[in-house]
Structure 1
Amino acid sequence: MKKNPDTMFASDQIEKLRSMSEPLLSWYETHARALPWRIDHAPYRVWVSEIMLQQTRVEAVIPYFECFLHALPNLPALARAPEDQLLKLWEGLGYYSRVRNMQKAAQSVVQGGGTELPESYEQLLALPGIGPYTAGAIASIAFGIPVPAVDGNVLRVLARLLACGDDIALPPVKHAFEQADAGLLPQNRPGDYNQAMMELGATVCLPNAAPRCAICPVRVFCAAEKEGSPQMYPYKSPKKPRVIEERTVFVVVAEKKVLLRRRTDKGLLAGMWELPNLSGWLEAGEISAVLAGWGIEDAAPSALDNGKHIFTHIEWRMKGVLALSCACTPVEGSIWANAAEIAERYALPSAFRPYARLLPELLS
Structure 2
Amino acid sequence: MIPYESLKILNRPFEEKLKGKLSDFLDKGWYILGEEVAAFEKEFALYHDEQYCVGVANGLDALILALKCCGFKPGDEVIVPSNTYIATILAIIHCGLTPVLVEPDLRTYNIDPLAIPDAISSKTVAIMVVHLYGQCCEMDPIMEIAKDHQLKVIEDCAQAHGAKYKGKLAGTFGDFGAFSFYPTKNLGALGDAGAVICKSEEDYQKLRQLRNYGSEKKYHNGVIGYNSRLDELQAAFLRIKLPHLDEINQHKRKLAAIYFEVLNDSFVKPKLDEDYYNVYHIYNILHPERDKLKEFLAAHQIATEIHYPVAPQDQVALKDYLQHFDYPVSANIHQSTLSLPCSFAHTEAEIRHVADILNQFSS
Give the TM-score taking structure 1 as reference length. 0.23
Higher relative contact order (CA 8 A, sep 6+): 2
Q: Which has the larger radius of gyration?
A: 1
